[in-house]
Chains A and B, each alone.
Chain A
Amino acid sequence: MIGPDCHDVAYLLSRARESRLTRRERWAVRMHLLICVYCRRYARQLRWLEQALARVRGSGRTGRLDEEARARIRARLDTREETRPNPPADR
């Protein structure tokens, strides 16, 4: 790949989070970032977004089942044996 544009580089920056880029791709991204302030910002923002989302995932406040719901679901699961509709015929 010779001289990727911002569009290509943005895609590669995203894909790099999912799978390892080839040596050529990594080199092309690095060269582009040297000359492009906007893609450098984008790269930084993607990293930031990743860390921020990791904090959201780990935070106890939002996006988690609260204790009440958890207890309700646990209670329901504890009675699950009675709910099995079609026990296999061979048991």
Chain B
Amino acid sequence: MDLKPEEWLEAHGDALYRYALVRTGQRDVAEDLVQETLLAAWRGRDGFRAASGERTWLFGIMKHKIDDHFRRTARTGGVLPAPDEDTAVDEESLEFGEDGSWRTRPGVWGGDPLGQAEAEEFWQELHRCLERLPVRLREGFVLRELSGLESRQICEVLEISENNLYVLLHRARLRVRSCLERSWFGGGERP
């Protein structure tokens, strides 16, 4: 497979940017990270292996760039993202009782939910919900839903098994759903 660096920005720029934006929360930082990633890819192009695919390879580089960014900000007195609590807290027990039934039952989403998704406010609300996710869940969810990677590609970028990814996406979707229901659809039913 031939690399086409001149097409990287057009083909993958937005997807890389969304990933960086949701991870860092800062537009200018995310833009710089896209630039750094594409430059690093160019410099390291001899190390590209066709087996992983161009997009997966670029996201792998971006992931390292984001990690570097957080290490740098920590050194200069910045705040590191909160450590992943998804190993400490059983996410799913927040959503389901011991008998496997819903703790907060999905409510009715009124109006035209899809029409509302067009609104700028929806994106902002979604963003807030994503920021509340533990890093690991956020990362998987964003790569899947906003950057549009296939699950196989995400497993390579995050170096996890497919079963791990399924659980991670399941937990992220549960949390995003209930967050949007609370903040955007104003509801949810308690048993």
| Chain A residues in the interface with B (C-beta under 8 A) | 5-8, 10-11, 14-15, 17-19, 38-39, 41-42, 45-46, 48-53, 55-57, 59, 61-65, 69-70, 72-74, 76-77, 80, 83-85, 88
Contacts and interface: CB of A to CB of B under 8 A. Distances in A.
Contacts of A15: 166, 170
Contact of B173 (A14, A83, A84): A14
Interface residues of B, number: 52
A62 B123 contact: yes
Interface of B: 5, 8-9, 13-14, 17-18, 21, 31, 34-35, 38-39, 42-43, 46, 92, 95-96, 99-102, 105-109, 113-114, 117-118, 120, 122-123, 126, 145-146, 148, 151, 162, 165-167, 169-170, 173-174, 176-177, 180-181
B9 A77 contact: yes
A5 B101 contact: yes
B170 A10 contact: yes
B151 A6 contact: no
A57 B177 contact: no
Which applies to chain A's interface (DSSP): helix, strand, loop or mixed?
helix
B34 to A, nearest CB: 6
B170 A83 contact: no
A62 B9 contact: no
A80 B177 contact: no
Contacts of A51: 114, 117
Contact of A56 (B13, B102, B108, B117): B117
Contacts, number: 135
A43 B99 CA distance: 20
A66 B116 CA distance: 23
Given A14-B173, A63-B21, A73-B9, A48 B109 contact: yes
Contact of B146 (A5, A6, A63, A70): A63
B100 A8 contact: yes
5 contacts: A14-B169, A38-B102, A41-B108, A52-B113, A64-B17
B17 A42 contact: no
Given A48-B114, A49-B145, A63-B146, 8 more contacts: A15-B166, A45-B106, A56-B123, A61-B120, A62-B120, A64-B17, A73-B31, A73-B34
